[in-house]
Amino acid sequence: MTEDRAKEILHILQDNFSIPPWARPNRDAFKTLIITVLSQATADKNTARAFANLSQKFSITPEALAKASVEEIEDAVRVGGLYRNKSKVIKAISRVILEQFNGSLDFIYSLPLEEARKILLNIPGVGPKTADVVLLFCAGKPTVPVDTHVNRVSKMLGLAPPKADYEGVRRTLETLYSPEDYLPVHLLLISLGRKYCKARKPLCKLCPVNTLCPSKRVED
């Protein structure tokens, strides 16, 4: 059964990868939102450097970043890649949160998941993954963010339909796992995707869950 196999995969991943110490709920919601924007299409080390540079130049608050010029933000986050677009998104998000929500994302804690998620998705520049990251990591809401690794690995392992879109993958993973496992599922699938289940050349022979993977490739 898929549920039994899904749980076995999770147990094996927990034995082979560790959860980072920073991965806990109740992180600052706005900072998490900005970090998630910076993390798009770049490596973790570049994200960290871009956020550190931004933090040195500005207070990471809606007020400070809404007042900053796009050019100033660009200078700070250039190392993170796609800096022109990310800078515009950061300023726009900051302005909306400042003007429409009095500079606070506290609604993510008090509102039900889907209501809070809908509000976040209505903020220009906030997509499903970004919204779900904020809801899961900051408010502990029961949702599974689906980045490129989670999407690819879930389908390779047969945990999600091959042609499923973002919502299809998210909903399927949420039916296979318990809410308390959503955070480790998200992080561990990313770890598996980075180390073994790579997009261009998956290391199936070395993968710790290869015996449970319907897509594994026989290597010479």
pLDDT digits (tens, 9 = 90+) for 100-117: 999 999 999 999 999 999
Tokens (6 digits) for 120: 């976040």
Distance from CA of residue 68 to its chain's centroid? 26
Average pLDDT of 135-140?
Answer: 94
Question: Under DSSP, is residue 198 helix (H, G, I), strand (E, B) or coil?
Answer: coil
Catalytic residues: 129, 147
CA–CA separation, 118 vs 181, rounded Å?
23
Q: Can you point out the beta strands (E) in the chain?
A: none
Q: Are 206 and 193 contacting, i.e. CB atoms less than 8 angstroms apart?
A: no
The answer, yes or no, to whether residue 87 has pLDDT greater than 80, is yes
| pLDDT tier, 185 (very low <50, low <70, confident <90, very high otherwise) | very high
- The pLDDT-based confidence of 218 (bands split at 50, 70, 90) is low
Domains and CATH numbers, the chain: 2-21+144-212 (1.10.1670.10), 29-139 (1.10.340.30)
Measure the CA–CA gap between 125 and 172, rounded to whole angstroms: 25
